[in-house]
Amino acid sequence: MDNALRELYQEVILDHSRHPRHYGAMAGASHKAEGYNPLCGDRVTVYLNLDADGRVADIAFEGKGCAISQASASMMAALLKGRTKEDAEKLMEGFLHLVRGEDAPGLSDDDRETLEVMGGISEFPMRVKCATLAWHTFRNAVEEGRMATEEGAA
Amino acid sequence: MTAPVKIAMPFDAEAVRARFPILSRTVYGKKLVYLDSGASAQKPDVVLDAMRDFAQSEYANVHRGVHFLSAAATDRYEAARRTVQKFLNAAREDEIVFTKGGTEAINLVAYSHLMPTIQPGDEIVLSVMEHHSNIVPWHFLRERCGAVLHWVDVADDGSLDVESLDGAIGPKTKLVAITHMSNVLGTVTPLKEIIARAHAKGVPVLADGCQGAVHEIVDVQALDIDFYVLTGHKLYGPTGIGALYARRAHLKAMRPFNGGGEMIREVMKDRITYADPPARFEAGTPPIIEAAGLGAALDWLMGLDRAAVAAHEHDLLSFAREQVSQFNWLRVIGDAPGKGAILSFEADGMHAHDLATILDREGVAVRAGHHCAQVLMERFNVTSTTRASFALYNTRADVDALVAGLAKAREVLHG
């Protein structure tokens, strides 16, 4: 088989897409955002619970999409749980570099190893958006997705 | 200019194929199998040559210079209009308006024909299988003028029931806007009957012929249609040019849409008079080289035995339909009787974009997504489909490559 294709659809990605981690709606999320890819009609919703320190205490997603977008969302959720907002932002920067086939100097070795699995997408420029949809949606959830609460405003 | 080529019966797909230089290239080291002609068709050498020759020897702006080249270019541009007239069998050449494509042609009807007279509550009847270009201009009229969109469903096999369409046409209907051939399902609509029903109630009909004109022989007089839209790039011609056929009486009553040069008779400080149609609707310098290309494409097409072309495309479709039926994980969407050469499907556990990526690496170009037909996607409860669309240059070997690619995709994604 084509090496680029083998790299893209490697077992760990297919496994995440078939058995996504942290999948499903989250009741009582503090933050939520919906992402949409108009190119393919794929949708993803990211739910977060950010604690008082700005840490991702819990994360979940749901949506329909291709193997790449589902795997990327699943891997992102697994990776971000327990991280601070600032950490998450750095991971996202690093991820965006990797999927464009660039070096990502800001990442720890462990994180790089995890995220590099998605690096094969850089050979498929038309598909990069599939991989980044969940991450952009996560960022939107953090920045603009605060949910109204009973005690809170709005 | 290269003369139109007459291909002897039986239809020789290999000979036709040889006229398309791009089809001999490879992608990722594999033979290119181009099954995305529904999005845009490849161009034969006669079109490429005509555009190059014209630009090299006869090009200038049209309709204004008195010099030699301007006259030559104007002749070529107007000759292309007559070629479109002939292609659609329009009664008069001034019933053909050049546009930048099918989308602009439909927008022109929305702005110039309907918008000046439409009242809140007036209805536009359209089917759920329309391309966004035959939906969004009518949404504009809904948003801005209070028009009501009246949707006609299709059957589960994708066919359109004339009775239900007829039932949707009421006293407030101002237009029926319907595709001639669905870009997703391949369904060919019974235009003649639809038009007869609509006219019986005094309602004009617009047909989106962007797909239909490629695969069907269109006779606007026999159809008695009001508006027929086509685009050049799906007809083996260049991008950037399309045409609106509109009955003379409609064109004369329509107000201009774009304002600028070419479309006026007289411009004063306090008044303006407009040119007669079709110039009234062709503001600005038109796509002149593209017109030469479109003319060459249509001349070439008309030089072929189009019944034989249609038979060839239908053979490809039924062969493909039969071949994919071996995959119990694949569901074809659109099986209307007499449909055109488009095969859309979804696959269990395989997203259209993953399928299309894997097919692409095998050299097989297909379209994946919602195909600018989200209303239809919703009707069939899918977010996207994979679509193989066939053209006159495709062969059974292309279908074989598609089928092999699908089996491969299954193996990659499901092991």
Contact flag A41-B413 (C-beta cutoff 8 Å):
no
Question: What domains can be seen in chain B, in order of their start residue?
Answer: 49-302 (3.40.640.10), 305-414 (3.90.1150.10)
- In angstroms, the CA B267 to CA B136 distance is 33
Give Cβ neighbours of residue A74 (< 8 Å, ≥ 6 apart).
A16, A17, A20, A21, A22, A23, A61
DSSP class per residue in B246-261? E-HHHHHHPPPSS-ST
User: How many beta-carbon pairs under 8 angstroms link A with B?
Assistant: 52
Contact flag B383-A130 (C-beta cutoff 8 Å):
no
List residues bridging with B58 in a β-sheet. Answer: none
Task: Please tell me if residue A127 touches chain B, with a CB cutoff of 8 Å.
Answer: yes
Nearest to B361 among A2, A40, A130 (CB): A2
- In angstroms, the CA A25 to CA A32 distance is 10
Q: What is the CATH number of domain A3-143?
A: 3.90.1010.10
ipTM: 0.87
- The pLDDT assigned to A151 comes to 46
Tokens of B407: 């089996």
**Candidates A2, A12, A39, A44, partner chain B, best to mutate (most B CBs within 10 A):** A2
Q: Is the pLDDT of residue B176 over 50?
A: yes
pLDDT, tens digit, for every residue of B325-360? 999 999 999 999 999 999 999 999 899 999 999 999
Task: Give the HSE-up count for residue B9: Cα atoms under 13 Å, Cβ half-sphere.
Answer: 6
Task: Please tell me if residue A66 touches chain B, with a CB cutoff of 8 Å.
Answer: yes
Confidence of residue B67 (pLDDT cuts 50, 70, 90): very high
Q: Is the pLDDT of residue B5 over 70?
A: no
DSSP reduced 3-state for A124: coil
DSSP class per residue in B61-86? -SSS--SHHHHHHHHHHHHHHHHHHH
Write down the H helix ranges in B304-395.
306-324, 352-361, 374-379
Mean pLDDT of B179-202: 98
Alpha-carbon distance A123 to nearest alpha carbon in chain B (angstroms): 11
Contacts of B368 in chain A (CB under 8 A): 40
pLDDT, tens digit, for every residue of B74-95? 999 999 999 999 999 999 999 9
pTM score > 0.95 for this model?
no
* Helix (H) or strand (E) run with residue A6 in it: helix A3-8
Of residues B413 and B222, more confidence is placed in: B222
